[in-house]
Every structure is written in C-alpha cells, then in structure tokens.
C-alpha cells in the first residue's frame, strides 16, 4: 500500500462497495515448474465495465460454468463438451443474437447450448442415429438406458433456450445435406469438435463401389456401409464446407488434435477462402494436445476451385493427423510401463 502512495487518489477507501476497483497483475511466465523470483511484467489498472450486447460482461460470466455444468444436464454422452470450453468456443466464434450456428458433429448438443445462450439459432447433424434421437444406452453411471427426456431438444428446454433450436438431423458430414445452389441458406458460425478416434470412432458412410470415380458410377443404388474417415479428410471436408456456406465474415471454430513432438504451424489445415484468426493450445498430456483453431471467411467460394488448394505436396503434411490415435495410445502405453517400473523399485 505504501508503495502506491505516489498515485493521486482522492476519496475514502470503501472495500465493501467501492466506486472504483484497481488491480495489480504479476506475470511470472507460462512454466509452473520454473517460476522466477521476480515477475517479468507488472500491470496496474482500473477494472472497467464494458457494455456489450446491452450486457455488462467485463466482470466475466464464470457463473455460467456452474449453471450449465454437464453434471446437471439431462442429456450427455461420452464426449459431451465441457461447459467452460463450449462458451470459450462461442466467444471465439463471436456468436451473437440472430446468428445461425451449425455443428456438423453435434453429438449431445453442448455447443448448441452455449450458442443459444447468446441468442443464436442453432442446428446440427451427426452420423449416430441413436445420439440424434436420444436412444440406446445411457452414459451415466448406474443408468442402463436413456430416458424419454434425454435428447438435444430437452437439453435446450432445460435452460429455457428451446425457442432457438432449429433441428438436428442424422447425416454424414462427408456428404453434405445442403442442396447445391442453396448458398443463400448460409450459416453465420460453424462450431464443432470432430471425433479423434479415441472415445468416438471416426467413420463415414461408404459404398461397395466407393473406388469408382463419380462420373463412372453405376446408376444402381449403392449399398452403404460404415468406413474409415481419416482425420485429414475430416478437416478438409470441414474447411470446404465452411468456405462454401459461411457468410462473409462468418467464423469456423474447431479443435485440432496434435502430437506435440511433431507439431509445426504447417500442419494446420488451410483454405484460400478462410483466414486463420487464432491458434490456442490445450495440453492433454506430455505428448498430446489439441488446438482451438478459429478461422474467418474472407473470400467468396468458387466451385471450380474447391479442390485447387490440395496439391499433393501441400497435402502431405496433414496426413500426420491420421496416425494421431496410434501415437496417442503409444504414449499411454509408455506411461503405464514407466509407472509399473517405478512401482517395482
């Protein structure tokens, strides 16, 4: 307190109901295992309230994490997105009232809930029929089957957000359900977390004649089966969809799993219509992490150029994503072996 006597403050100190609140922030770096004796930087300033969308949010909205907690939610799955991360994604996407938010891997609708909270109309698709319709085995402990109120619509109804719910459809993200020429049905924001192949399989619908080129396919009805959907293909389809159907200035926000020893900026999928806005890392283990990628549409999509950004030489760096599952479990195996060895000492 004495060190701050030089500041020209006037008036009485009122800790219970202050007119102005001041903060001192000390930056000790990002490495918790190597903390310096003195901070790298000191920041001092007055805490201000900012009006945004007619709401005072500068104090933060951390209460949303508790009120929207997955533990209290009617409908959850094995990969339901944490409430805090869902709201972070909505913030990165700059979701606002009357936006149309679409999630192509909707699951139990966690991202739809956070977007609807900010007044956006929400919809999504998923390849899993049981998840979309709220059927099958439950993910909760000591509960065998899902109940009648366990579905995406019930989740939004639980928070008073059902009026923002458009629909959720069973669909394969690799085969767009949007009719060609319907580009006026554009989405404002595209938020998703694609399956990595760890807790949820990466799959798509295929055909016994899949190897035949589109122009040479038979007119006979194909027999669709489940086939592998490589991560590199998932992200390329995702970026192509975003480039075609996002409005100008619309945002794509998604998670990219990475193997940290091999990570470089070059492995981030790119598209000429999309500009990379931010790249934030969340560590999962000593050797794996996932990155929250935010992109913004800056150019109009041209159908004749939709695959022009995939030359063989440029495509090769992204193939490393396809082996993420193997690298993930190889790290787990090594860690377990090390722990067993340490326990034997």
What is residue 329's predicted lDDT score, i.e. its pLDDT? 62
pLDDT band at 194 (very low <50, low <70, confident <90, very high): confident
Inform me whether the pLDDT recorded for 261 exceeds 50: yes
Burial of 102 (0-12, 13-18, 19+ CB in 10 A): buried
Residues 152-181: tens digit of each pLDDT: 999 999 999 999 999 999 988 777 777 765
Rounded Cα distance between 328 and 324, Å, is 6
DSSP string, 34-69: S--SS-SEEEEEE----EETTEE-TT--THHHHHT-
Provide mean pLDDT across the span 265-292: 90
How many angstroms separate the CA atoms of 193 and 96, rounded?
20
Q: How far apart are CA 190 and CA 120, in angstroms?
A: 12
CA angle 183, 276, 238 (to 5 degrees): 45
pLDDT tens for residues 198-218?
555 555 666 545 444 433 443
Check if the beta carbon of residue 238 is closer than 8 Å to that of residue 194.
yes
Q: At 302, is the pLDDT very low, low, confident or very high (cuts 50, 70, 90)?
A: confident
2 by DSSP, 3-state: which? helix
What pLDDT does 344 receive?
Answer: 67
Beta strands in 193-245 (DSSP E): 203-207, 224-228
pLDDT for position 54: 36
pTM over 0.75: no
Measured CA to CA, the distance from residue 207 to residue 223 in angstroms comes to: 6
- Distances 166 to 78, 113, 134, 137, 194 between C-alpha atoms, Å: 24, 12, 17, 25, 21
pLDDT, tens digit, 9 for 90 and up, residues 70-116:
888 888 887 788 899 999 999 999 999 999 999 999 989 999 999 99
pLDDT value at position 168? 93
pLDDT tens for each residue of 108-147: 999 999 999 999 999 999 988 888 988 888 877 777 888 8
Identify the CA nearest to 111 among candidates 292, 269, 268, 259. Answer: 292
Which structural domains are found in the chain, ordered by start? 2-58 (no CATH), 62-206+221-331 (3.40.50.150)
**Could you tell me what percent of the chain has a pLDDT over 90?**
32
In tens, the pLDDT along 37-66 reads 999 999 988 877 654 433 334 556 777 888
> Which of helix, strand or coil describes residue 236?
helix
Q: What is the mean pLDDT of residues 327-333?
A: 61
């Amino acid at each position: 307190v004495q060190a701050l006597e030089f500041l020209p403050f006037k008036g009485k100190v009122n800790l219970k109901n202050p007119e102005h609140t001041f903060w001192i922030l000390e930056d000790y770096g990002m490495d918790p295992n190597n903390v310096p004796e003195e901070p790298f930087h000191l920041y001092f300033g007055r805490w201000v309230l900012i009006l945004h969308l007619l709401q005072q949010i500068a104090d933060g909205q951390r209460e949303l994490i508790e009120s929207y907690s997955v533990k209290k939610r009617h409908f959850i799955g094995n990969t339901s997105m944490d409430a805090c991360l869902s709201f972070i994604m909505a913030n990165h996407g700059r979701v606002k009232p009357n936006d149309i938010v679409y999630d192509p891997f909707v699951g139990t609708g966690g991202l739809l809930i956070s977007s609807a909270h900010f007044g956006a109309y929400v919809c999504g698709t998923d390849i899993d029929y049981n998840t979309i319709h709220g059927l099958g085995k439950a993910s909760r402990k000591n509960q065998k089957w899902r109940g009648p109120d366990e579905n995406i619509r019930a989740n939004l109804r639980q928070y008073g957000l059902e009026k923002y719910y458009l629909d959720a459809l069973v669909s394969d993200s690799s085969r767009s359900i949007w009719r060609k020429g319907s580009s006026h049905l554009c989405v404002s924001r595209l938020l998703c977390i694609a399956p990595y192949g760890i807790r949820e399989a990466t799959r798509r619908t295929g055909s016994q004649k899949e190897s035949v080129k589109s122009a040479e396919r038979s007119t006979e009805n194909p027999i669709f089966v489940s086939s592998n959907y490589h991560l590199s293909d998932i992200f390329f389809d995702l970026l192509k969809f975003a480039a075609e159907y996002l409005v100008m200035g619309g945002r794509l926000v998604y998670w990219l799993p990475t193997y940290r020893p091999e990570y470089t900026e070059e492995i981030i999928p790119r598209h000429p219509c999309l500009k990379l806005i931010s790249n934030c890392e969340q560590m999962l283990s000593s050797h794996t992490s996932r990155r929250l990628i935010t992109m913004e549409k800056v150019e109009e999509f041209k159908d004749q150029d939709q695959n022009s950004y995939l030359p063989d030489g440029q495509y090769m760096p992204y193939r490393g994503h396809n082996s993420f599952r193997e690298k993930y479990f190889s790290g787990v195996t090594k860690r377990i072996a090390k722990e067993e060895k340490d326990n034997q000492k």
